[in-house]
Structure 1
Amino acid sequence: MSSSRFSVVLILLVALCGFTLSRDRFPVDPALTYCVQQATKTAASLPATEPNLPRNILNGKKNWNYISYKDWTSGFWPGTLWYIYEYTKDPAWKAKADSFTRELTPLAFQKAVDHDLGFQMYCSFGNGLRLTGNADYKKKLLATADTLATLFNPKVGTILSWPRSVPNMEWPQHNTIMDNMINLELLFWASKNGGGKHLYDIAVSHATTTMKNHFRPDYTSYHVVVYDRETGKKIKGVTHQGYADNSMWARGQSWAIYGYTMTYRETKDPKFLDFAQNVSDVYLKRLPKDLIPYWDFSAPDIPSAPRDASAAAVTASALLELSTFVKDKAKAATYRAKAEQMLESLSSANYQSRQVNDAFLLHSTGHKPNNSEVDASINYADYYYIEALIRLKKLQTGKPILANL
C-alpha cells in the first residue's frame, strides 16, 4: 500500500474511532459545572419564606414560579441540590439541600393525597440519606413508604394515583397513571430497610399489573388505566396529559422506561428487564434526529409541535442504568450511546437555558392539553438532567451507577 493510501486509511480509522469514543466520552464535567452555576443563581434569588421551592419558568419569562412542599414536584429542587453537593463536595450545598429537604417532612405523616410521595420524598430525603447516612432521613422515608402503601388496592393490584375526582377517571373507580411506576422505588427501598416485605410485594404487584394493562401490543403506554375498584377489572385506558387515548405521550413512555429498569434492578426478575427494553426500543425508534421527543409522538403539528426536554432527561438517565443490565453487549452499547447523544443534545445551545433564565434546561412540556407549562423550564427536567450527568460520570470513572461520587 502506498504511503498516501495508508495515510487516507489511517485518517478514516481515526475518524471512525474518534466518533465511537466520543459517544463514550461525553464531556460531563463542563455540563455539571454549568448546572452548579445555574443553581447558584437560582439559590441566590429564592424567597426567604415559603413558598420557596422553584417549580417552573414559563416561556418568555425570566423568573421562577414557586411552590410549597405540597406540590407534586416539591422534591426535585432539594434533590437537585443533593446532586450538586455530590459533585462539588461543598458543605454549603449540603446545608442548602438539608434545609429544603426538611421542608417536606409533613408529607411523611399526613394522609396521602396522591401517589407522588416517591417523587417528593425519595428524590429529596432519599438522596440525602444516600449521601449522608442521616438516620433521621431514614425514619422519614420509612414513614412515607407506609403512607404511600395506604393507597394500594389489593383487589386491583395497583396503587391509587388520584384519590379524588379527576375528569374522565370515573371516580370513585380506581385510577393508576404511568408516573406511579417511579414511586415504587421508595417502596422497594423501604422493604430492605426495615419497612417489611409487604412493601416489596405491593411494588411488584403494581409493576406486574401495570405491565399487563397499561401497554398496547407495540409496547406504547396509556397514560392512565381506570379499574373497577371492587373487581379489579380494567375499565379503560385513557390519556390525561397526552394528545389522545391511543397516542404515545413522551414523558409517560419515559416514566415506563425508567420505572421498569428500576424494577428489574430491585427484583432481578428477567421479565422486567425484557419489558424495559421493549418500552425503550419503541421510544427510540420514533425519536427525531436530535433525540429530544416532541411532547407526544402523535402530535398532529409535528415538526412544529413543542418538544419535551424533561422526557429526554428521564430517558437518558434510565438508559444509562439499563445499559449496565443488558447482557447483549451490542444492545447495551446502543443504549449507552443513545443516552450520551441525548445528553449532548440537552447540553447544546438549543436546550440549555444559559443566559435565557436560571434553570438548567429549556423546552419542556408539562400539560399540553391544559396549556400548562408548554415549552417551559421545569424543575423535574433539571433534576433528571443532572441525575443523568452524575450517572454518566460514575460510569466513565468505573463506578456503579448507584454509588456515590
Structure 2
Amino acid sequence: MRKISLLAAGLLSMMSWGSNAGMAQKVKKDKALLQQIDKNLSNGVAQYRVLKQNTPAGRFPKTWHSNKQSAETSTSEWWCSGFYPGTLLYLYKATGDTASYNEALLRLQSLEKEQYNTTTHDLGFMMFCSFGNANYVQPREKYKQILINSAKSLASRFNPVTGCIKSWDSKPGDFLVIIDNMMNLELLFWATHVTGDSSFYQIAVTHANTTMKNHFRHDYSSYHVVNYNAETGAVKEKKTAQGNADSSAWARGQAWGLYGYTVMYRETHDRKYLDQANHIASFILNHPNMPADKIPYWDFNAPGIPYALRDASAASVMASAFLELSKYVPAKTGSGYVHTAETMLRGLSSSHYQATGGANGGYMIQHCVGHMPNKTEIDVPLTYADYYFVEAMLRYKAL
C-alpha cells in the first residue's frame, strides 16, 4: 500500500473538535453568551447524571418519550451509540467532571466490539465521536487500534465502481448512499494520518467527489438518498427517506453536507470543498424559510410553515459547522458565520430548547425531529443534538 507522510498537525486537528488551520482571524466573542455557555456546560453535567440513571448498563440513550415519561435506549449497533460517551468526554474536557469521564469509559467497553462491524456506514459517528474523543483526552494504544480497525471496517463498504461507501444494504443491484455519510469520512482521514496508508484518504476523497457530483441540486441543496447501479455506477434515482419529499431540502441533511465538506477542506486544503461548503452555507442562510432564530424547520420545504416543527438537532450540527467554516474564509464572511452560530447557540440555550432540572429524561436539547415520514422520533430529544450542541459551545469558546 502506498504511504504518504504524516501531517505536522497534532491529533487535535484530526478530531471533531476542529483544526486551528486556516485564515487566522480575531473574533470578538459575546461575553454574555460565553457566560451562558459555562452555565450550559454545568447544566449538561447535571442533566447527564439523570440520563445515566435512565440508561441501563450495556445500553445507549436513544430518546425520551415525555408523554410516557420513559426512556428509549439501544444496543451498541445503533448508529447513535457513540454520541453518549462522546458527549460525556466533551463535558469532562470542558468541566473536569470525573464522573462524566468514568461513565464514558464504562460505556466504551460495550461499544468496543463495533470496531469490526462491516454492516454499517456509521462507524464515524459510532467510533470516532467516542473512541476518537477518548484518545484525544487520554491517548492509549488500545484506542488507536480500535479506531484503525473501525476505519478498515468502514472502508470495506467502498465500491470503486460507484465511487462511494455504501450507506444502507438493500436489494441486489441497488447501492444506496445518503448525505449523512459525509460525516463518517473524518475517521478515514484520521486513519491515514496515523497509519500513513493513503488508501483511506483516497476512499474519502472519492466518496466526497461522487457525492458532490450527484447529491446536490443547482441551488446546492442536497437530496437525502442517491441510488446507484451497483454494477455500472450509474445513478438510478434521487430521493429522500427522512425529508418531506424527494424534491425538498431535509434540514439535517443540509447540516450534514455543510459539516462534511468543511471537514473535507480541513483535511485536504482543496478549494473545491471550501467552495462547496460555502455554497451550502449560502443556501441555508438565504433560504426564505430560515427562521430569524436560525433554528430550522425539520425540512426547508415542510408543509405548514411557519407552524411546522423545528429541528434543534439540525441547528446544533449547523452551529458547530459554521464555527469551523468561519476559520477558512475571509474575515467578513467568517464573522457572518460566527454571528449565525451565536444566534443558533442563543436559541438552543433558551428555556424552550434546553432542558434543566433533570427534565427531558436528562437530555440537554429538546424539540428535535428524527424521521417525520416514518412517524418516529418526532419533537423529542436526540442524543446527537446534545453532542453537536456541546461541540459547538466548545468551538465557540476556543475561537
After TM superposition, the score normalised by the length of structure 2 is 0.89
- In the other structure, the counterpart of 1:222 is 223
- Which of 62, 76, 79 pairs up with 1:55? 62
Structure 1 residues not aligned, in runs of 5+: 1-19, 166-170, 396-405
Deviates more, 1:20-29 or 1:341-350: 20-29
Judging changes above 3 Å, is the alpha-carbon distance between structure 1 residues 337 and 61 closer, same or farther for their aligned structure 2 residues? farther
User: Aligned partner of 2:198: which letter?
Assistant: K
Judging changes above 3 Å, is the alpha-carbon distance between structure 1 residues 157 and 24 closer, same or farther for their aligned structure 2 residues? farther
- In the other structure, the counterpart of 2:153 is 147
- The aligned runs of 1:3-402 (5 Å cut-off) are 22=30, 25-27=33-35, 28-47=37-56, 49-50=57-58, 52-110=59-117, 112-165=118-171, 171-194=172-195, 196-286=197-287, 287-326=290-329, 328-355=330-357, 356-357=359-360, 358-395=362-399
User: Aligned partner of 1:201: which letter?
Assistant: Q
Judging changes above 3 Å, is the alpha-carbon distance between structure 1 residues 25 and 309 closer, same or farther for their aligned structure 2 residues? closer
Q: Deviations over 1:261-306 (max 9, x none)?
A: 0110000101100110100110112211111111001011111211
Alpha carbons 2:167, 2:177 under 8 Å: kept: yes
Alpha carbons 2:173, 2:231 under 8 Å: kept: no
Alpha carbons 1:26, 1:344 under 8 Å: kept: no
For residue 236 of structure 1, report the CA deviation from its aligned partner.
Answer: 1.7
Alpha carbons 2:326, 2:338 under 8 Å: kept: yes
User: Aligned partner of 2:256: which letter?
Assistant: W
Judging changes above 3 Å, is the alpha-carbon distance between structure 1 residues 234 and 79 closer, same or farther for their aligned structure 2 residues? same
Cα distance between partner residues in 1 of 2:285 and 2:32: 19
Judging changes above 3 Å, is the alpha-carbon distance between structure 1 residues 65 and 195 closer, same or farther for their aligned structure 2 residues? farther
For residue 175 of structure 1, report the CA deviation from its aligned partner.
Answer: 1.1
Cα distance between partner residues in 2 of 1:136 and 1:21: 38
Alpha carbons 1:26, 1:340 under 8 Å: kept: no
Cα distance between partner residues in 1 of 2:252 and 2:68: 23
Deviates more, 1:32-41 or 1:185-194: 32-41
Alpha carbons 2:170, 2:176 under 8 Å: kept: no
Identity %: 45
User: Aligned partner of 2:291: which letter?
Assistant: P
After TM superposition, the score normalised by the length of structure 1 is 0.88
Alpha carbons 1:24, 1:337 under 8 Å: kept: no
Alpha carbons 1:59, 1:374 under 8 Å: kept: no
Judging changes above 3 Å, is the alpha-carbon distance between structure 1 residues 23 and 301 closer, same or farther for their aligned structure 2 residues? farther
Cα distance between partner residues in 1 of 2:229 and 2:352: 45
Q: Secondary structure at the match of 2:63?
A: strand
User: Aligned partner of 2:45: which letter?
Assistant: V
Structure 2 residues not aligned, in runs of 5+: 1-27
Q: Secondary structure at the match of 2:256?
A: helix
* Higher-RCO chain (CA-CA 8 Å, sequence separation at least 6): 2
Cα distance between partner residues in 1 of 2:286 and 2:272: 21
User: Aligned partner of 2:351: which letter?
Assistant: A
